[in-house]
Chains A and B, each alone.
Chain A
């Protein structure tokens, strides 16, 4: 059908020969499988940092804000720096899912779920800081316009700090429902795929009984579109209002009309850097390289380049105005005492190097598509954007109008511990999310498979744009017997039969592999769907959903077959299955299978 046409010059967004079912399997695998060792190591480190931060918060609240390094000149320091840093990071998620939806950018679909999760977790961290800074957090409800015992004393609607309360709580709650609504079909997919009654129950509750009726989908799409339309100005308003916290004050260096656009661009800049940091790791750990491709990373790098450019221009304008306006306060902040040459020169130059110089390397296409370099640049930007907030807050406060009150800021271990604690908390939440949530919006990715999938693009290139895109999904096991289910053959469809062999080497590989499979099946026995039923192989420790799928492709469906495996067969399996972890012998699959077989 020509309605699936997409310009051939566009690179594919889904790699490999994927069917709709493959997408479900790949996205469901991290949830339905077991956590590996590296997950537990990182989780433990994050948990320790979180607990340490929690201790610092309890110490702060029980003793008082005096345990921080604040002094009478510098009354806002790390706390507000961290607040603005986290809010800024929390901008990428909604930007990806809302703005890119309005622009109909298909590449958003692989990254929006995780970016939104990151947004919500980052805003939670951000919200902690003003609450701790209150000193008496149990009175936090005083920021709400509630009738109270002090006559009718209301909150002050003229204050940007109150605007913050409304902006951030609206942003957090709207992001949450946007995220959750998108999650319903994917939770439903997990609910319908799992075999564990506990998971079925939990995901049944989380999916709100999503059934996928055509009317539900119609409303779903409309709701997503309207929420995107609402969230787009919302996301811009949030950081605009955060910048008002500074811009409406009369502190030299803060009182600046450039702040709203400058803060918003900086927020997107840092948010995308954090998305890159998280997704580059996640695509590797969760085997999602076919969905979050180098192309996605390059697209995000382009957004980083654009917003980084805006931030750069803003810095230059501030300096230019410092000189050109002739205003003594501006001159004093930027030139005569100078952020660049004063006592905080190191913080200033850290900002310039991290935010201006290093990201410039992304202009080079080769580096923009280099994953290791991108990861490094993203980390550097995260650091640079923290310094930007530190520079704005601490440098501008450190030299006030009276020379006698000039001061420097010295963080205490509580300042540092609280910040590290929020990073730990953030990663605890994100790691839990990565193990329990479908991390890719699989329902949405399925809608672009036929336009942007690699296999379908090749189909159109070889057979013309009007060639049928209908897939013929075969049931396991295949008609030609289980051994016919070698990888790549399972997805027999219109591009299957006359697909030319790419080169001779592949042919030999196929041949050798087929011989090995036959050898393996000769020992363990073939599966006859007419008289046998397949077992749930995932009950065996060491076999997850992906491994089960691979075993099915080889032709192994029952405990009986696995129970006949010995060291020779494990070695054969290692040859046949790419990325076979070789844990068959260690976990004693045969022994376990024998046990399950005898249960029947």
Chain B
């Protein structure tokens, strides 16, 4: 199935913001926006749900804390309890104060790294991944809005986008089925 999209390029973030709001108000569907830097409030204007990545980080932190507790309890209390410098090591509770630094470090280690890995996987970022921004200038100073042109009068949509302040507009027909 061929999909038809229109790529509208803007030269300014304020202009883009305004255009996104106008386009949504006209009930056109914005399928993607590419920007060179985070434009604050754009995610809300485009209609994206808030990200849940901070919640995953919290859960990963809990995992890290549990791993640290399990590890130190197994190694220092269960497997080979030793009297080191008179520090009591025969119950977890007694020895716990000296475990706190590593509990903290492991929590941070898990929460940080697993969250970043989740981010890379969800946003499809990894070495040798091909970049997908349709215009190289979108990492420099251009802002590209991709609008679904399926079932719309292309002529009319183009005119509308010009009126929102787009500096370049191109029609993209894609033969892929997704």
A: residues with CB less than 8 A from B are 1, 19-21, 24, 145, 151-160, 162-163, 166-167, 170, 173-174, 177-178, 181, 184-185, 188-189, 191-193, 204-223, 225-227, 230-231, 233-234, 237, 241, 244, 443-444, 446-447, 450, 468-473
Cβ–Cβ contact B108 & A219, under 8 A:
no
Cβ–Cβ contact A211 & B131, under 8 A:
yes
Question: What 1/0 flags go to B121-135 for Cβ under 8 Å of A?
Answer: 011111111111100
Cβ–Cβ contact B116 & A192, under 8 A:
no
Surface stretch bound by A, among B69-77, B148-156, B169-177: B69-77
Cβ–Cβ contact B128 & A205, under 8 A:
yes
- Asked if B90 CB lies within 8 Å of chain A CBs, one says no
Cβ–Cβ contact B35 & A212, under 8 A:
yes
Q: How many residue pairs at the A-B interface have CB separations less than 8 Å?
A: 219
Distance A167 CA – B68 CA, assembled complex (angstroms): 13
Q: Report A214 CB to chain B, min CB distance, Å.
A: 4
* Identity of the chain A residue whose Cβ is nearest the Cβ of B125 in the assembled complex: A208
Question: What 1/0 flags go to B26-46 for Cβ under 8 Å of A?
Answer: 000000111111111011001
- Asked if B115 CB lies within 8 Å of chain A CBs, one says yes
Query: Which among B53, B71, B101, B131 is the interface contact of A219 at CB below 8 angstroms?
Result: B53
Cβ–Cβ contact A237 & B11, under 8 A:
no
- Asked if B113 CB lies within 8 Å of chain A CBs, one says yes
Q: Report A117 CB to chain B, min CB distance, Å.
A: 18
Distance A470 CA – B12 CA, assembled complex (angstroms): 6
Residues of chain A within 8 A of B95, CB atoms compared: 158
> Would A174 and B127 be within 8 Å (CB), given that A157-B99, A158-B84, A167-B101 are in contact?
no
Pick 16 A–B contacts, CB within 8 A, sort by A. Answer: A166-B106, A181-B116, A192-B136, A193-B140, A204-B130, A208-B125, A209-B132, A212-B36, A214-B39, A216-B125, A217-B37, A221-B38, A227-B112, A230-B108, A237-B104, A450-B14
> Would A219 and B122 be within 8 Å (CB), given that A152-B79, A192-B133, A212-B34 are in contact?
yes
Cβ–Cβ contact A158 & B57, under 8 A:
no
Distance A152 CA – B33 CA, assembled complex (angstroms): 56
> Would A166 and B101 be within 8 Å (CB), given that A157-B72, A189-B140, A217-B35 are in contact?
yes
Cβ–Cβ contact B12 & A211, under 8 A:
no
Distance A156 CA – B116 CA, assembled complex (angstroms): 30
Cβ–Cβ contact B53 & A188, under 8 A:
no
* Identity of the chain A residue whose Cβ is nearest the Cβ of B11 in the assembled complex: A473
Cβ–Cβ contact A156 & B139, under 8 A:
no
Cβ–Cβ contact B34 & A211, under 8 A:
yes
Q: Report A39 CB to chain B, min CB distance, Å.
A: 26
Cβ–Cβ contact B36 & A226, under 8 A:
no
Pick from B39, B85, B99, B123 the residue with the most CB of A within 10 Å.
B123
Distance A173 CA – B32 CA, assembled complex (angstroms): 33
Q: Report B94 CB to chain A, min CB distance, Å.
A: 11
Residues of chain A within 8 A of B111, CB atoms compared: 226, 230
- Asked if B158 CB lies within 8 Å of chain A CBs, one says no
Q: Report A204 CB to chain B, min CB distance, Å.
A: 7
Query: Which among A155, A192, A470 is the interface contact of B139 at CB below 8 angstroms?
Result: A192
Cβ–Cβ contact B105 & A212, under 8 A:
no
- Asked if B164 CB lies within 8 Å of chain A CBs, one says no
Distance A218 CA – B53 CA, assembled complex (angstroms): 10
Cβ–Cβ contact B14 & A215, under 8 A:
no
Query: Which among A155, A160, A170 is the interface contact of B108 at CB below 8 angstroms?
Result: A170
> Would A226 and B53 be within 8 Å (CB), given that A166-B102, A217-B38, A470-B15 are in contact?
yes
- Asked if B87 CB lies within 8 Å of chain A CBs, one says yes
Question: What 1/0 flags go to B1-31 for Cβ under 8 Å of A?
Answer: 0000000000111110000000000000000
Distance A569 CA – B120 CA, assembled complex (angstroms): 52
Identify the 7 closest CB pairs spanning chains A and B, nearest first. A209-B129, A20-B141, A192-B136, A208-B125, A154-B75, A446-B37, A211-B133
Distance A145 CA – B108 CA, assembled complex (angstroms): 18
Cβ–Cβ contact B116 & A177, under 8 A:
yes
Residues 86-120 (chain B) with a chain A CB within 8 angstroms: 87, 89, 95, 98-99, 101-102, 104-106, 108-109, 111-113, 115-116, 119-120
Residues of chain A within 8 A of B128, CB atoms compared: 205, 209
Cβ–Cβ contact B37 & A153, under 8 A:
no
Cβ–Cβ contact B131 & A188, under 8 A:
yes
Residues of chain B within 8 A of A24, CB atoms compared: 36, 139-141
Given contacts A173-B109, A177-B113, A217-B43, 4 further A-B contacts (CB under 8 A): A192-B131, A207-B131, A213-B132, A233-B104
> Would A473 and B87 be within 8 Å (CB), given that A166-B105, A173-B109, A444-B37 are in contact?
no
> Would A158 and B85 be within 8 Å (CB), given that A170-B105, A214-B48, A222-B54 are in contact?
yes
Distance A215 CA – B11 CA, assembled complex (angstroms): 20
* Identity of the chain B residue whose Cβ is nearest the Cβ of A473 in the assembled complex: B11
Residues of chain B within 8 A of A152, CB atoms compared: 79-80
Cβ–Cβ contact A233 & B98, under 8 A:
no
Residues of chain A within 8 A of B12, CB atoms compared: 469-473
Query: Which among B54, B82, B124 is the interface contact of A226 at CB below 8 angstroms?
Result: B54
Residues of chain B within 8 A of A468, CB atoms compared: 14
Cβ–Cβ contact B102 & A443, under 8 A:
no
Cβ–Cβ contact B80 & A153, under 8 A:
yes
Cβ–Cβ contact A219 & B141, under 8 A:
no
Cβ–Cβ contact B119 & A181, under 8 A:
yes
Residues of chain B within 8 A of A226, CB atoms compared: 53-54, 57, 111, 115
Cβ–Cβ contact B126 & A208, under 8 A:
yes
Distance A1 CA – B13 CA, assembled complex (angstroms): 11
Q: Report A238 CB to chain B, min CB distance, Å.
A: 9
Residues of chain A within 8 A of B87, CB atoms compared: 158
* Identity of the chain B residue whose Cβ is nearest the Cβ of A4 in the assembled complex: B14
Cβ–Cβ contact A20 & B140, under 8 A:
yes
Query: Which among A162, A216, A446, A471 is the interface contact of B123 at CB below 8 angstroms?
Result: A216
* Identity of the chain A residue whose Cβ is nearest the Cβ of B138 in the assembled complex: A212
Q: Report B47 CB to chain A, min CB distance, Å.
A: 10
Q: Report B162 CB to chain A, min CB distance, Å.
A: 15
Cβ–Cβ contact B127 & A205, under 8 A:
yes
Residues of chain B within 8 A of A191, CB atoms compared: 131, 139
- Asked if B51 CB lies within 8 Å of chain A CBs, one says yes
* Identity of the chain B residue whose Cβ is nearest the Cβ of A209 in the assembled complex: B129
Residues of chain A within 8 A of B127, CB atoms compared: 205-206, 208
Residues of chain A within 8 A of B131, CB atoms compared: 188, 191-192, 204, 207, 209-211
Q: Report B138 CB to chain A, min CB distance, Å.
A: 6
Query: Which among A157, A214, A219, A233 is the interface contact of B102 at CB below 8 angstroms?
Result: A157
Distance A444 CA – B40 CA, assembled complex (angstroms): 11
* Identity of the chain A residue whose Cβ is nearest the Cβ of B126 in the assembled complex: A208
Cβ–Cβ contact B85 & A177, under 8 A:
no
Pick from A205, A214, A225 the residue with the most CB of B within 10 Å.
A214
Q: Report A418 CB to chain B, min CB distance, Å.
A: 28
Distance A204 CA – B11 CA, assembled complex (angstroms): 24
Distance A241 CA – B130 CA, assembled complex (angstroms): 42
